[in-house]
């Protein structure tokens, strides 16, 4: 005689603690759930609305400077440390956790033009209007000690930018020319110039560390290899580029911030046209910085806004602004990719969230699961008109909004004129120039 025993595993239906929700057995057969898609759409719509409700990106304002913030530098090993230099020659070190200034030093006479930290984080370098390069200790002097630089180099002209090598004791400065310096020597080990008046910024490649690039006053972006005696090549744009930044994950790609309100992402192997033109700003773009993951970058503009762009899209996904914030001069993305720091004309450094609606602090397991589910739903329905309209909507300052509409009208008028000229000309005499090719004049090798 066979006896069939009903066997139930308590793990399938018993809660681990009384605070857990009751486990409900579910059959996922689609035929049993005819309203699953409408239900998911409603949830996606609600999740998108809630995201906009909770979008409060501004976290803190660090005030203490007595003049506009001109440059900033991140600490390579400490997330909580930030360096900032102002237009009165003052350098401040900030503790971002406590949101307070931990150290102030009078570094230069006139502007602090650029600053960077050594790759190991033991010291940092500053350049200023007084034609000097100074190296400072990262830790504050002990009680009774004078605040003195470790090393001072007096140059022949004003230096406008500085950047440190990612692995070696070498740094590069730019001014009338691009100089490569060894930390142990008081004269440059290599000098690059290409018939240019002055350079505004210089950047080492974080992946291929021997490569560097600079923006020049003759509207060109010049590429160099430290192992070569001469520059590699340069691309000349229609208008001047203010600064550039390499993608930390893709060695060949860099993005430059231009005076014509756009940003351009180039592949250094093919400079005759940018890969992507990033448009949205309504005034000159002054600075940019990449996210450590290399998927996005943040840009600061003269139009008093900060925008976040995905690296492969032409339009920004986010725009930050406040009533008090004036022209944004410099911007940095924190090394944990969660925060953005901006320095502006009105002497303030502001701390923002990289994801405007992100909840800070420790999340419980259920919160994480709910957020992941919402993200998936938003991704699934992102192209639905109702969801897309809510997700894309941003409030802009009136000046920015009216200027963007005006620029749109001007662009449309130019396009219409080109179409009319082509229509009334001999076939083939007026070539079609793509938006990407319009902004590059030539490439010189």
The per-residue pLDDT for 370 is: 96
Q: How many CA atoms lie within 13 A of 93 on its CB side?
A: 22
Close Cβ partners of 399 (under 8 Å, ≥ 6 residues apart): 303
DSSP-assigned letter for residue 12:
G
The per-residue pLDDT for 111 is: 94
pTM, 2 dp: 0.92
Angle at 359 between CA 354 and CA 363, to 5 degrees: 130
Distance between terminal CA atoms of the chain? 92
Nearest of 229, 187, 194 to residue 214 by alpha carbon? 194
**Splitting the chain (445 residues) into consecutive groups of 10 residues, what average pLDDT does each group show?**
82 83 85 93 97 96 95 95 96 96 94 95 95 94 88 94 95 95 93 87 95 94 93 94 96 96 95 95 97 97 97 96 95 96 95 95 93 97 97 95 96 95 92 90 92
d(CA 281, CA 364): 38
- Token pair listed for 187: 């004269």
**H helix or E strand, kind and range, residue 385:** helix 385-392
Helix (H, G, I), strand (E, B) or coil at 303: coil
Helix (H, G, I), strand (E, B) or coil at 219: coil
Burial class (CB in 10 A: 0-12, 13-18, 19+), 58: middle
- Token pair listed for 50: 């809630």
The per-residue pLDDT for 275 is: 96
Burial class (CB in 10 A: 0-12, 13-18, 19+), 128: buried
Burial class (CB in 10 A: 0-12, 13-18, 19+), 92: buried
Distance of CA 157 to the CA centre of its chain: 30
**H helix or E strand, kind and range, residue 366:** helix 365-380
Burial 215-248 (b: 16+ CB within 10 A, else e): bbeebbbbbbebeeeebeebbbbeebbbbbbbbb
**In the block, which residue shows the tokens 């102030």?**
104
The per-residue pLDDT for 17 is: 86
Nearest of 167, 165, 162 to residue 179 by alpha carbon? 162
- Token pair listed for 323: 């009533």
């Amino acid at each position: 005689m066979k006896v069939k025993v009903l066997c139930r595993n308590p793990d399938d239906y018993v809660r681990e603690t009384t605070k857990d929700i009751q486990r409900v057995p579910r059959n996922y057969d689609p035929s049993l759930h005819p309203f699953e898609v409408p239900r998911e759409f409603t949830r996606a719509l609600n999740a998108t609305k809630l995201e906009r409700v909770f979008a409060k990106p501004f976290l803190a304002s660090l005030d203490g400077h007595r003049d506009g913030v001109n440059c900033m530098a991140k600490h390579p090993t400490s997330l909580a440390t930030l360096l900032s230099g102002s237009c009165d020659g003052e350098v401040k070190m900030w503790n971002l956790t406590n949101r307070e200034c931990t150290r102030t030093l009078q570094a230069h006479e006139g502007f602090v033009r650029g600053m960077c930290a050594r790759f190991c984080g033991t010291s940092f370098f500053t350049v200023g209007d007084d034609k000097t390069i100074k190296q400072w200790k990262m830790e504050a002097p002990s009680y009774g000690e004078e605040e003195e630089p470790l090393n001072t180099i007096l140059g022949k002209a004003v230096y406008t930018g500085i950047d440190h090598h990612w692995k070696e004791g070498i740094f590069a400065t730019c001014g009338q020319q691009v100089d490569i310096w060894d930390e142990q020597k008081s004269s440059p080990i290599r000098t690059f110039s290409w018939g240019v008046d002055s350079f505004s910024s210089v950047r080492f490649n974080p992946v291929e560390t021997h490569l560097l690039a600079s923006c020049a006053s003759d509207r060109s972006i010049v590429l160099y290899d430290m192992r070569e005696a001469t520059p590699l090549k340069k691309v000349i744009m229609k208008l001047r580029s203010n600064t550039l930044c390499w993608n930390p994950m893709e060695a060949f790609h860099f993005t430059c911030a231009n005076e014509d309100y756009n940003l351009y992402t180039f592949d250094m192997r093919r400079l005759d046209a940018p890969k992507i033109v990033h448009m949205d700003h309504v005034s000159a773009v002054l600075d940019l910085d990449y996210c450590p993951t290399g998927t996005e970058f943040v840009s600061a503009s003269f139009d008093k806004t900060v925008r976040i762009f995905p690296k492969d899209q032409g339009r920004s996904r986010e725009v930050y602004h406040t009533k008090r914030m004036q022209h944004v001069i410099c911007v940095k993305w924190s090394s944990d990719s969660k925060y953005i720091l901006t320095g502006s004309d009105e002497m303030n450094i502001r701390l923002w969230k990289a994801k405007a609606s992100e909840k800070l602090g420790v999340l419980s397991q259920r919160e994480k699961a709910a957020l992941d589910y919402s993200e998936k739903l938003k991704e699934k329905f992102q192209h639905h008109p109702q969801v897309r309209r809510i997700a894309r909507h941003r409030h802009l300052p009136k000046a920015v909004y009216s200027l963007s509409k005006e620029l749109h009208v001007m662009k449309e008028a130019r396009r219409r004129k080109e179409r009319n000229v082509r229509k009334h000309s001999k076939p083939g005499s007026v070539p079609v120039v793509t938006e990407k090719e319009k902004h590059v004049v030539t490439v010189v090798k």
